[in-house]
Amino acid sequence: MSSSPVSTPPPRSTPGTVSADVPILVVGGGPAGSVAALLLARQGWQVELVDRDFFPRPKACGECINPAGVLLLEELGLLKEVLASRPSELSGWDLSTATGRLAHGFFAQGDRGIGIRRESLDHALILAAEREGVAIREGVSLVEVEPGNERRPARVTLRRKGTRGIEYRSARFLLGADGLQSRVARSLGLVRRHSAPGKASLTWRIEGEGPPRDRGRLILAQGLTVGLAPVDGGGDQSWNATLVVSHPATTPSLRDGGWNQAMEVMNRAQIPWIKAPEPSQGPWGAGGFHRSVSRVAEGRAVLIGDAAGYYDPLTGQGIYRALRAGHSLARHFSAHIPTPGSPHLSAADPNILESFHHSLTRATRPGTFLQRAIEGVTRHRRLRQAALTGLRVTPGLTSSLIRLTGNRPTTLLAP
Ligand SMILES: Cc1cc2nc3c(=O)[nH]c(=O)nc-3n(C[C@H](O)[C@H](O)[C@H](O)COP(=O)(O)OP(=O)(O)OC[C@H]3O[C@@H](n4cnc5c(N)ncnc54)[C@H](O)[C@@H]3O)c2cc1C
């Protein structure tokens, strides 16, 4: 992948106008950043994307794209590239307690989820963005942001991995798509302080045979959850196993004892392994979750994806929400900026981001409410068991829930 040198091109101002070095600078090449960059480049914008990592790279994640995410990738013409790595197709999820009580949920007919390694997904999207003309710069970290205003561009301080050299860059629009611990959000002072401790997680790639490979499994135990999903199609035996722990007090011992904990929960839940699986990659850690921001737009900077707030990995909606945010931002730009591409500042630019803030906040509210409700129920042992019993004995209820978390319309009781 190309990686241009750390340098600052000469400013392109013409008399009477103020210009930035680049019209759009995207920080972060996960699903939110790469899809936003790609769609904006398709509209004619000159886009530069920096990421502190080099692709392909792993990412702590359950690695399942829900049906709405799959449909969106198809709509954007990106599904073929994503499927090239031969990911697993998922027809639904099984939910169980640690004692093995099972409820089966199925996506609607014609819908499917995908279990895919993040190395493959994110690399496919970043290559697609590069093909659309986005300048991708890997190994470049954002250090600090000034958001700019009607008259001044956003300014960022960047550092290339392994060097002490600092680069300053200015942008007409700055997209912060730098994930859960967003430096852009922190640098802008937009992260809300929470008193409640968040969760922490460990993710492994494991090899094993036995469980059905067309479905994921979520095991809800006291204070922890284990997610298991196939991540390769075509006869491979790789799985993503993710352990999420509710109390960070246990985090220090997590890295050493985490795999044993995850295995114990899987054994109690009677996952039908033919032979005990072994981790082949990882673990990759993440946390704490439950992070929110006071606003997603400030001056000429806007946050999308996890950077704009994240609640809980439990419902597996993050990738869809990240793709959707990138898509919504690009649509918002095409609706409000008649002649894309220019690095010249317009005094109206911050208002455009402000109105995006309002529409994104409205659009994500129901999903966040659903996540909070599910998290509230699963946190308490009795409620969790009662809910699972309800799901098991009411035909169609588990499928309705699975379709809801798959961001697909559902009736109260799915057929
Ligand atoms: C344990 C766990 C399990 C999950 N399981 C699922 C699941 O099964 N399904 C699902 O849909 N979602 C899941 N999620 C959520 C999902 O991973 C995220 O919502 C999704 O990756 C968000 O995409 P993004 O583009 O916003 O950020 P990310 O994918 O995090 O990408 C951010 C990018 O920014 C880069 N970056 C960070 N800081 C800087 C910096 N300072 N300078 C430059 N670059 C920077 C990073 O290198 C990274 O490439 C899970 C999350 C966790 C933690």
Determine the average pLDDT of the residues in 85-93: 95
- What CATH number corresponds to the domain at position 172? 3.50.50.60
Residue 1 confidence (pLDDT)? 61
| One domain for residues 185 and 205 | no
Q: Is residue 276 part of a domain?
A: yes
Q: Are residues 281 and 209 in the same domain?
A: yes
Strands 135-138 and 47-51: parallel
Same domain membership, residue 58 and residue 157:
yes
Q: Give the per-residue pLDDT at 5.
A: 44
Task: Indicate which CATH number applies to the domain containing 390.
Answer: 3.30.9.10
Q: Which domain holds residue 245?
A: 69-75+88-116+197-289+380-405
| Model pLDDT, residue 395 | 80
pLDDT band at 410; cut points 50, 70, 90: confident
pLDDT score at 259 = 92
Q: For residue 164, what are the CA distances in angstroms to 141, 145, 242, 404?
A: 11, 18, 36, 47
Q: Quick one: 228 and 338 in the same domain?
A: no
| Least confident window among 162-176, 263-277, 352-366 | 352-366
pLDDT at 249 over 80: no
> Do 140 and 44 share a domain, yes or no?
yes
Residues 323 and 276 in one domain: no
Question: Beta-carbon neighbour count of residue 77 at 10 Å?
Answer: 11
**In this structure, are 283 and 388 located in the same domain?**
yes
For residues 36 and 166, membership in a common domain is answered with: yes
Q: What is the model's pLDDT at position 383?
A: 85
In a domain, 46, yes or no: yes
Is the pLDDT reported for residue 66 higher than 80?
yes
Average predicted confidence (pLDDT) for the chain: 89
Whether 235 and 279 map to the same domain: the answer is: yes
Q: Which residue ranges have their beta carbon within 6 Å of ligand 1?
A: 27-33, 50-53, 59-65, 141-142, 177-180, 183, 201, 203, 242, 286, 305-307, 313, 316-320, 322
388 falls within a domain: yes
- Give the distance from CA 373 to its chain's centroid: 20
pLDDT in the model for residue 4: 46
Name the residue with higher pLDDT: 384 or 61. 61
Among 36-45, 48-57, 235-244, the least confident range: 235-244
Number of folded domains that form the chain: 2
Supply the residue whose CA is at minimum distance from atom 51 of ligand 1: 61
pLDDT of residue 251: 56
Nearest atom in ligand 1 to 184's CA: 41
Please identify which residue in the block is written with the tokens 């109260």.
412
Token pair, residue 66, equals 């829900």
pLDDT tens per residue across span 287-318:
888 888 999 999 999 999 999 988 777 888 89
User: Is 38's pLDDT higher than 60?
Assistant: yes
Q: Give the H/E segment covering residue 398.
A: helix 397-405
- 166/282 same-domain check: no
Predicted confidence at residue 246, as pLDDT, reads 82
Lowest mean pLDDT: which of 2-6, 37-41, 138-142, 305-309?
Answer: 2-6
DSSP string, 47-104: EEEEESS-SS---SS--EE-HHHHHHHHHTT-HHHHHTT-PEEE-EEEEEETT--EEE
**Quick one: pLDDT at residue 389?**
85
**pLDDT exceeds 70 at position 41:** yes
pLDDT digits (tens, 9 = 90+) for 316-347: 889 999 999 999 999 999 999 987 888 899 99
219 shares its domain with 271: yes
Does any domain span residue 411? no
**Cα of 79 to ligand 1 centre, how many Å?**
19
Classify residue 11 by its DSSP letter: P
Retrieve residue 315's tokens: 């419902």
* 311 CA to centre of ligand 1 in angstroms: 12
**pLDDT for the residue 16:** 57
Section 164-191 average pLDDT: 95
> Please, are residues 281 and 111 in contact by the beta-carbon 8 Å criterion?
no
Taking CA atoms only, the protein residue closest to ligand 1 atom 18 is 318
The ligand 1 atom at the shortest distance from the C-alpha of residue 33 is: 25
* Cα 327 to ligand 1 centre (Å): 16
- Average confidence (pLDDT) over 244-256: 69
Co-location of 267 and 303 in the same domain = no
The percent of residues above 90 in pLDDT, for the chain, comes to 64
Structural domain contains residue 82? no
User: Which of 14, 44, 384 minimizes the C-alpha distance to 222?
Assistant: 384
Alpha carbon 9 to its chain centroid, in Å, reads: 32
Most confident of 9-13, 195-199, 394-398: 394-398
Task: Determine the distance separating the centroid of ligand 1 and the alpha carbon of 181, expressed in angstroms.
Answer: 9
- Residue 7 is predicted with a pLDDT of 47
**DSSP string for residues in 215-271:** EEEEEEETTEEEEEEE---TT--EEEEEEEES-GGGHHHHHHHHHHHHHHHHHHTT-
Beta bridge partner(s), residue 200:
245, 287
Smallest CA separation from ligand 1 atom 21, residue:
319
User: Among the ranges 108-122, 243-257, 282-296, which has the highest mean pLDDT value?
Assistant: 108-122
Mutate to test the pocket of ligand 1, among 178, 327, 370 (most ligand atoms within 8 A of CB): 178
pLDDT at residue 26 above 70?
yes
In this structure, the residue with its CA closest to atom 9 of ligand 1 is 316
- Mutate-to-test residue for ligand 1 from 25, 51, 174, 315, highest number of ligand atoms within 8 A of CB: 51
Instruction: Write the pLDDT tens digit of every residue in 359-393.
Output: 888 887 887 888 888 888 888 888 888 888 888 88
* pLDDT for position 11: 47
Give the torsion through C-alpha atoms of 173, 179, 181, 185, to 10 deg: 20
pLDDT band (50, 70, 90) for residue 415: low
The answer to whether residue 412 scores a pLDDT higher than 80 is no
Residue 2 belongs to some domain of the structure: no
Position in ligand 1 atom list of the atom nearest CA 178: 34
Residue 8 counted as domain residue:
no
Ligand 1 midpoint to CA 194 (Å): 20
pTM of the model: 0.93
Q: Burial, 408: exposed, middle or buried (Cβ in 10 Å; 0-12, 13-18, 19+)? A: middle
> Is residue 33 domain-resident?
yes
Q: Report in angstroms the alpha-carbon separations of 34 from 78, 177, 327, 334.
A: 11, 9, 10, 17
